[in-house]
Structure formats: C-alpha cells, structure tokens
C-alpha cells in the first residue's frame, strides 16, 4: 500500500471520522469523568483488530498493533477530555451537556486516533515493529494538579501505568489542532515547540499605619510596585535576547482601606520560558529579584514558585521526518518550519520525558467560514477537513519511521 492508497483510504474514512467527532462533541466529558468516550474508542480499536486495554491511568485507553515482524515501536498520544465551558455555537452538533464542551479540539484528536487505528490495521503487513495508541483521559488538568491537591494529569498517570513498556516505546508522537493555522497546513520545529509554563505566588509584607503618618509605616503597595517592575523587566536580564520569555502578574490583592498604609499585598502570575538553562534557574533568580525589590521599599517578601508544564521538546530527526512528510503529503508550502516556540503548554511533556518525541500542529482554522475563535473559547470550532489532513500526515509519518525512513 503506497501513499496513493493511504490517501484513498483516508478519504473513504473521513466522513465516518467527522461523524465520530460530532458525536463526541455533542457528549463531552471532562478529565477524570470520562465514560462514553473511552468506551467508543475501545470499541473502534477492537473492531479494527487492535489489542486493547481500558482503564489505564484512570480512564485511558491503550491500543497495540504489531506489524509483520520485529522492529521499532512508535507510540501516538491523542487526548480525549473536554473543558468546563458552555458551548455558545449555533450548530447541530453543539454540546448537549450544560457547561461542558470540547473547546480544545480533543474530539477531533480522538477521531484522528481512531482513524490511525483503522488505516494501520489495513496495513499491518506493510510495516515492521509495532504502534501503540495512548488515548489520554486528562490532558487539561495541567502539570501542577498534584501540587494543588488533585490527581496527576493524564500523561503522568499513563506513564506511571507503564504504557511506554511492554513493548518498550522507541519514539513518541503527539499532535494538536490550532485555529490560528489555516486548514491544510502543518507546523513543526526541532527543539522547544511549546515553552510550557510555571506559576508563582508572593506576599509582600510591610507595616500598617495611617496615611497621615506614612513615615511610621512600611508601604506594601509601594514595595509591590517595585516588585512588579522588577518582574516585568526580568526577561531582559534572565533569558538570552533571542529566546522567548513571558512573565505576567495576573492577580494582585492588597490594602485594607483608602486612608491606610497597606500592610500586605499578594500577587499571583505565570512565567513561560523556552530556554531550558534559564528555566532551570528561574525559581532562585526570581526569588532574589522579588526580595531585592521589596527590600528597597523597606518591606519583606515571601516568594513561592510552583513548576507547571515543562517545555515540549522535539527530537530534531523526528521533527524533520514530520516536516518532510507534511511537505510530501500536503505540499511544500503547507509544511511550515516554525521560527520560535509558542508560549503555551501541554502535559504531553510528562509522557515525553526521556523518550525521543515529536509534537506537531495542524491547521483547523478557516477565516472564510468564520472559524477563527481560539482554543479554550466558548465559540471555538474547527474546519473538519483538518481531520483528514492530520490523519494522512500521522499515518505517513508512522510508516516512514517504522520502515526506516
């Protein structure tokens, strides 16, 4: 079976995959509460002849398909969970579950995963080694879930359940739709593709007094303003000039009344850094900046840094494989080599630790049809033609990898 045969099979499957996507979209399920979606996935994989495990890492589904002999093992991670958002779209397939919707396109990712299972089942005599499909039940929970008292995110739970063993995985692939990318394109880059993010919280402590006797107090609001200026200037001092860096204070609360010197100010924010050596030092260096800025106004500061999602880092050879596959499949103009990482995170990073991996993006936007709302928006939707494009690239890249391309 050659690329033409794959293309024909993808075209044949696409209407069914679109119907699957719409069914999942109508019945979204949030992380740790998935029942219907994993059941649908398991049924489809079993029908295609895959070995199937359910209840993995919570509600995850793992499928394994062996080729025509020994060889490399490639794992592919589609995610399945939805978000606790209302669905504002006026479409026949809108969510029927109040205040829950697939606002990130995991319904389409699941459909692509089911399509991969169907196409590769037809081709098991045309590749050696094995493929594992890892259907992730809880991508959206974030890497800091445990630190906040919650369960581990899906990739952490899947990894702990041993999905990268028996058979041992040699490489890992992930993908995600993005409405900012026109449908029909694929974006990828070697090295860091997502910066990930970390969170911080801090408290500035001063001394309360009446505003008429401000010299007797220590103004936590003045100190907090120094802290914010220091933090917002951190990128120019911490990260190399050619590296992306973003720090944001998103919440600030302090003071007791309009005529008092504020005794405390609390802040929370995020920092995103794609430069791995800089990220390793962020906690220590930001704490020092905060302390110095607060001290300059006669106050003290307590700084808490919570690691979130580390960067997603692509293996250069695997990134090149996806790029060349997309160029051959979709046309050279539609295979885009990204010049910088995106300032977002994905818990795929926890599954990809110590495994050569590649994560790529496929276009799902269509301005002519008004499909432009971003991920995590209640009017988010996607151009369903992206399902076939993503499936074609995923299958072709899988076959190329397993057959030594």
The string of pLDDT tens digits covering residues 251-273 is: 999 999 999 999 999 999 999 99
Work out the average pLDDT over 370-388. 98
Q: Please write the tens of the pLDDT for every residue from 60-91.
A: 999 999 999 999 999 999 999 999 999 999 99
Mean pLDDT, rounded, of the chain: 95
Q: What value, to the nearest 5°, has the Cα angle with vertex 15 and ends 13 and 20?
A: 95
Work out the average pLDDT over 144-150. 74
Q: Please write the tens of the pLDDT for every residue from 113-141.
A: 999 999 999 999 999 999 999 999 999 99
| pLDDT at 5 (0 to 100) | 86
Q: Is 332 exposed, middle or buried (0-12, 13-18, 19+ CB in 10 A)?
A: exposed
Q: Please write the tens of the pLDDT for every residue from 218-231.
A: 999 999 999 999 99
- Which carries the bigger pLDDT value, residue 8 or residue 145? 8
Please state, in angstroms and rounded to a whole number, the distance separating the CA atoms of residues 31 and 100: 11
Structural domains in the chain, sorted by start: 3-195+311-402 (3.40.630.10), 197-309 (3.30.70.360)
- Maximum CA pair distance of the chain? 85
Please state, in angstroms and rounded to a whole number, the distance separating the CA atoms of residues 7 and 312: 30
* pTM score: 0.94
| pLDDT at 2 (0 to 100) | 66
DSSP assignments along 142-159, one per residue: -TTTTTTTSPPPHHHHHH
Q: What value, to the nearest 5°, has the Cα angle with vertex 77 and ends 306 and 369?
A: 95
- Calculate the alpha carbon distances from 262 to 71, 208, 214, 292, 399 in Å: 66, 6, 10, 19, 64
Tell me the residue ranges of DSSP E strands in 39-166: 51-56, 60-66, 73-77, 130-135
Q: Please write the tens of the pLDDT for every residue from 324-334.
A: 999 999 999 99
Work out the average pLDDT over 230-240. 90
| pLDDT at 3 (0 to 100) | 72
- Calculate the alpha carbon distances from 2 to 6, 157, 400 in Å: 6, 37, 11
Please state, in angstroms and rounded to a whole number, the distance separating the CA atoms of residues 291 and 223: 10
Please state, in angstroms and rounded to a whole number, the distance separating the CA atoms of residues 56 and 45: 15
Q: Percent of the chain scored above 70 by pLDDT? A: 99
pLDDT over 90 at 146, yes or no: no
- Which carries the bigger pLDDT value, residue 151 or residue 134? 134
CA Rg value for the chain: 24
DSSP symbol at 142: -
Please state, in angstroms and rounded to a whole number, the distance separating the CA atoms of residues 291 and 97: 47
Helices (H) then strands (E): counts for the chain: 10, 16
Q: Percent of the chain scored above 90 by pLDDT? A: 92
Work out the average pLDDT over 194-202. 96
Peptide bond into 62 cis (omega under 30): no
Task: Tell how far CA 274 is from the center of its chain.
Answer: 14
Give the position of tokens 């990894």.
159
The full length of the chain comes to 405
pLDDT over 60 at 1, yes or no: no
């Amino acid at each position: 079976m050659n690329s033409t045969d794959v293309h024909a099979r993808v075209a044949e499957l696409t209407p069914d995959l679109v119907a699957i996507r719409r069914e999942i979209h109508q019945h979204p399920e949030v992380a740790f509460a998935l029942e219907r979606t994993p059941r649908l996935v398991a049924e489809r994989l079993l029908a295609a002849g895959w070995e199937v495990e359910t209840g993995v890492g919570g509600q995850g589904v793992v499928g394994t398909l062996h080729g025509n002999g020994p060889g490399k093992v490639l794992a592919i991670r589609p995610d399945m969970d939805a978000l606790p958002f209302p669905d504002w779209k006026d479409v026949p397939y809108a969510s029927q579950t109040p205040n829950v919707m697939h606002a990130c396109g995991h319904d389409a990712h699941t459909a692509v995963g089911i399509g991969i299972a169907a196409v590769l089942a037809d081709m098991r005599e045309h590749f050696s080694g094995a493929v594992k499909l890892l259907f992730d039940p809880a991508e959206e929970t974030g890497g800091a879930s445990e630190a906040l008292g919650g369960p581990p995110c899906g990739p952490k739970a899947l990894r702990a359940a041993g999905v990268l063993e028996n058979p041992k995985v040699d490489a890992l692939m992930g993908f995600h739709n993005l409405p900012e990318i026109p449908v029909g394109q694929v974006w990828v880059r070697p090295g860091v593709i997502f910066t990930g993010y970390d969170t911080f919280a801090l408290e500035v402590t001063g001394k309360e007094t009446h505003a008429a006797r401000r010299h007797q107090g220590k103004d936590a609001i003045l100190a907090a303003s120094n802290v914010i200026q220091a933090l917002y200037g951190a990128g120019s001092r911490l990260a190399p000039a050619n590296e992306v860096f973003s720090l944001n204070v998103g919440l600030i609360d302090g003071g007791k009344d309009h005529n008092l010197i504020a005794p405390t100010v609390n802040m929370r924010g995020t920092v995103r850094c794609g430069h791995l050596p800089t990220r390793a030092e962020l906690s220590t260096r930001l704490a020092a900046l905060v302390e110095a800025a607060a001290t300059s106004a006669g106050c003290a500061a307590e700084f808490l840094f919570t690691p979130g999602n580390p960067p997603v880092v692509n293996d250069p050879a695997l990134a090149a494989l996806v790029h060349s596959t997309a160029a051959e499949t979709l046309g050279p103009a539609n295979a885009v080599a990204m010049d910088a990482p995106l300032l977002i995170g994905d818990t795929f990073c926890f599954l990809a630790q110590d495994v050569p991996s590649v994560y790529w993006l496929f276009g799902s936007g269509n301005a002519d049809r008004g499909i432009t709302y971003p991920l995590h928006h209640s009017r988010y939707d996607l151009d369903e033609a992206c399902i076939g494009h993503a499936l074609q690239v995923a299958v072709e890249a899988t076959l190329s990898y397993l057959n030594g391309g």
